[in-house]
Amino acid sequence: MSRVFVRFIKPIFIVVILLSIGLSVLHMCGIQIFEPESIFTGAESRMIAADGEISSDMVIPGGRSIGVKLDVEDVLVVGLEEIRTENGSVVNPGLDAGLQIGDMILAIDGMEVHSADDVISIVGNTDKKSVRLKVGRKDELRYIDVKPVLSAEDGKYRLGVWVREETAGIGTLTYYRPYDGSFGALGHGITDVETGSILKVADGQLLDARVVSLKEGKKGEPGEIRGIFYEADEPLGSLSRNTEYGLFGYAYTDLSSSEYSQPVYVAEPDEIETGKAYILTTVEENQVEKFDIKIEKINRDSEPSTKSMVIRVTDDRLIEKSGGIIQGMSGSPVVQNGKLVGAVTHVFVNDPTRGYGIFASTMIEQSENGKKS
């Protein structure tokens, strides 16, 4: 029995040895016989190139609908209100002290504030006739003294300000970078509706979203994607930066879609041409689709801009479904000649088939700048 086993195993052993020697020789000669492969392990995702090196300059175009939930870093003043006091007079202590809509309240009497509850707690428990607010206004830092007043409505001391510390919305993923698990979305910043200020991110999540319905865009009346968040307890990633040129963060999972799962290079501005291209976007459920567009104008100014390209939707399918570009498509990747060239950012109010786009290279640069800071 043992002799039979030895006669059987000996040829197999010799074949394995010969194969090992052969593969070693091929590798020494620089010959790769295996195809490139992708491996994804959440935020540690990596794209393995043919030579075994990690490719850092390739991205996977997005197009999927995403939900965004942001906790704002500072307390944003979004309104100033009058307060009726116990003696019947009406005052506005915030306005009288010089507060403005759009101000960021950073601290009160030296204590940092990060929510409306922080403001209410500090002001409600003070025994001072006035409190000193540390306020950020655009690029300036100011200190403003405000006199809280006792509200006849609820018997609490108030400053007469409306503040906000969180926001949420629907947008589109622009790219996913397997090299380090980072992503970019929207192509522009998330701003406060009342003030127009870019919101600073204290914490945030990227969520899966599903398109429920579309409001068609018409001349003078922009359309919109109406969607919902789902699987909110399993976020797709974390948000780290909200900038003028997009929203950036790191994924917990592979963000590629069935429509586009292979990595591509990011085009430099001088590689982009006027003419045919396409966008990837979601207008039904969670299905990423490809739609034809035309790049009509390219602005290669050295300064970064969210309006570096003028694009026109030429695909009748998209025009029939949505009228063209609508709110919620911001971030939809623009692909031309096999490269990611940009993302949709704005729609022309008087012509929903046309809009602006940002260069993808600008978004990548902004993302990298954030890592260095």
Comparing CA positions, the residue from 234, 249, 222 lying closest to residue 353 is: 222
Name the burial class of residue 6, with classes exposed (0-12), middle (13-18) and buried (19+) by CB atoms within 10 angstroms of its CB.
exposed
The two three-digit tokens of residue 160, written as one number: 């007469």
The two three-digit tokens of residue 342, written as one number: 């940009």
The two three-digit tokens of residue 48, written as one number: 């393995």
Q: What burial letters (b/e) apply to 64-87, b meaning 16+ CB within 10 Å?
A: bbbbbbbbbbbbbbbebeebeeee
Do 166 and 70 touch, CB atoms closer than 8 A? yes
Comparing CA positions, the residue from 331, 322, 326 lying closest to residue 357 is: 331
* CA distances (Å), origin 207, targets 170, 227, 323, 331: 9, 12, 26, 15
**What is the spatial distance between Cα 97 and Cα 92, in angstroms, rounded to a whole number?**
9
**What is the spatial distance between Cα 344 and Cα 213, in angstroms, rounded to a whole number?**
20
The residues that are catalytic are 188, 315, 330
**What is the spatial distance between Cα 143 and Cα 137, in angstroms, rounded to a whole number?**
10
